[in-house]
Amino acid sequence: MSVVLLDPRFPNMIPVDAVDLLRGDVCYTEEVPIRVRWVIADLGGHTVDESEILVTTDPENETVQFRLEQGETMITAPSLQVHLEPTRELESGEARGGVAPEEKDEETVTHSGGVVDGEIVGTDDHTVAVAGLRRTTRTEVPASVMDEVEDAIAIMARALRQGEWEQAMTHTSLMDYLRAETEELGYIVAQLSELEDGGSGRFGGDGTAPQWLEQELCAELSDVLLQVLFHAEIANRRGAFDIGHVAGAFVAKMRSRAPYLFEEVERQVPRTEQDRLWAAGKEREREEKAERLGEKYHEFVARKDAAPAASGTGSASPSTATAPATSTAPGDTAPGAPATA
């Protein structure tokens, strides 16, 4: 049983001695960033509530202190060894002979979950598809936004650790709630669409959406996000995938079907080109999967394609996106669920 102590300043720097330990079941103290958990997941780690291996960035954490008192060993990030043991000499041949190395301005580079120092550190489909793609030219995500996203993921994980209702849920039992939340979202979108079409009588004013209605849209989107996080965390707990893999699957899909998003220079893309690339990418993905998985996959795709047609819905793509339909006010959320907005 071991405690792996990471440097909170550089949490992505995982001690070499800990790598093999992190390929199985792993638990974390709550402050460990989600991006670190993604890296460990790509190494083969599986997040569980209790494990012989505990990863932390806080040596004063009560759980860490208790486990150390029980005699567990602690593997410490090299960058912390000098900080914790000031007399310890660095295991390096640099700066010999008392000559200080020339100081250089350090360029900060944040590597994504599947890449460490430019190398792919995992071999699963998510890592292979996504690693190395996140260094594309893009609009940087503000730190404040990433903080909110990390909080949402951490809260969902905690909800399944503590909540009896959450622990009883399955992918199937959650579907009623997902449908209800989607209907509520559709109702808000229909109200906004009415305003965009020039209708203002219901809300008064000049046809501009009132701020409270915009906030309602935000709240309903958060309910849908909750469902995505919930399903991903359920999958994570059985060792299938986590929310990082879900995000990675989105990036991989867009690279296949909208490759212009990964070009060095942004350009306006005609609708005809979007439709062509999307259809070609989708067909290519299916052919590759069919070749790899065989006849059963063909049968699965046929059933999957028939399902939206039977229900009157379809998936969103450049070639299928349509204006939102008018919706009536939704009913109550499915029975048994904790109350939602």
Overall average pLDDT of the 77-92 stretch: 57
142 C-beta neighbours (distance < 10 Å), count: 9
Cα separation, 117 vs 142, in Å, equals 23
Q: Is the pLDDT score of 327 beyond 70?
A: no
Instruction: Give a yes or no: residue 160 inside a domain.
Output: yes
Residues 183 and 65 in one domain: no
Handedness of CA 292, 293, 297, 301 (dihedral sign): negative
pLDDT band, very low/low/confident/very high, at 337 (cuts 50, 70, 90): low
Q: Is the pTM of this model over 0.75?
A: no
Instruction: Give a yes or no: residue 325 inside a domain.
Output: no
pLDDT value of position 140: 72
pLDDT value of position 96: 38
Q: Which domain holds residue 242?
A: 143-311
Indicate the number of domains in the chain: 2
Written as six digits, the tokens of 258 are: 């909208």
Residues 157 and 303 in one domain: yes
Cα separation, 181 vs 80, in Å, equals 46
Domain with residue 156: its CATH number is 1.10.287.1080
Instruction: Give a yes or no: residue 259 inside a domain.
Output: yes
Overall average pLDDT of the 121-128 stretch: 45
Residues 150 and 69 in one domain: no
Residues 167 and 288 in one domain: yes
Residues 185 and 279 in one domain: yes
Overall average pLDDT of the 70-91 stretch: 69
Cα separation, 247 vs 151, in Å, equals 16
Q: Is the pLDDT score of 82 beyond 70?
A: no
Q: Is the pLDDT score of 11 beyond 90?
A: no
3-state class (DSSP) for residue 248: helix
Overall average pLDDT of the 237-249 stretch: 89
pLDDT value of position 261: 93
